[in-house]
Amino acid sequence: MKKMSLAKGSNKRMKRIALFPGSFDPITCGHTEIVQRGLAIFDEVFIGIGVNTTKTPTFPTGKKVQWISEIFQGEARVKVGIFSGLTVNFALSIEATFILRGLRAAPDFEYEKNIELLNKHLAPNIDTVYLVSSSTTGHISSSLVREVLRFNGNLKGLVPDIILQEISQQKI
Ligand code: ADP
């Protein structure tokens, strides 16, 4: 049987930290479901908001951090932070040994496969773990949410309530 890894010099098991990287522009009910399910597998899920200097997000990064912090304020095992550069470098810096990603359909897998191979090449000790979206969230994407928002459609069930409230109060 495979031995559990032990922290150096102690008999304590090493904390299993998973980095959940993405743009979260904005965070959706699809993302939150992956985080919740990730908590059943990992000790900590770190939501990493990737900042891409060549792409301007729809929502300011500070707003994304605020939303995510509020959504998971009762869950100490969920952390949030911003990063730029290589995902694996950020994962190493927060001592994550897993990268968590969600899969909606085959195109997601096609996209993820090469990134996973590259990440494995760059950081052999980090494994990517995929969770397949449930039938209730598999249709949700941040880009569709932005499209619905643009035409004043109803976002209930697509984004967490806190974002809905801000929209109804016209704070965004
Ligand atoms: P990226 O910009 O890297 O595509 P996103 O912010 O869109 O990141 O998503 C981050 C992760 O969440 C990705 O692994 C993506 O596949 C996953 N994801 C997004 N929406 C869903 C959903 N509805 N169900 C499951 N996983 C999802």
pLDDT digits (tens, 9 = 90+) for 58-107: 999 999 999 999 999 999 999 999 999 999 999 999 999 999 999 999 99
pLDDT at 170: 72
Which residue from 46, 54, 86, 101 has its CB within 8 A of the most atoms of ligand 1, so it is best to mutate?
A: 101
Q: Can you list the domains of the chain with their CATH numbers? A: 17-168 (3.40.50.620)
pLDDT at 2: 46
pLDDT of residue 4 exceeding 60: no
Distance CA 22, CA 104 (A): 14
First-to-final CA distance of the chain: 53
How far, in Å, is the centroid of ligand 1 from the Cα of 130? 11
Query: Where does the pLDDT of residue 26 fall: very low under 50, low under 70, confident under 90, or very high at 90 and above?
Result: very high
pLDDT at 167: 80
pLDDT at 11: 65
pLDDT of residue 130 exceeding 60: yes
Nearest-atom index, ligand 1, CA of 132: 25
Catalytic residues: 31, 55, 104, 142
How far, in Å, is the centroid of ligand 1 from the Cα of 39? 17
What are 150's two structure tokens?
Answer: 């643009």
Query: Which of 79, 76, 73 shows the shortest CA–CA distance to 49?
Result: 79
User: What single-letter DSSP state applies at residue 27?
Assistant: -
**Region of poorest pLDDT, from 4-13, 70-79, 99-108, 136-145:** 4-13
Q: Which residue has the tokens 């897993």?
A: 98
pLDDT at 138: 94
Q: 112 or 169: which carries more pLDDT confidence?
A: 112
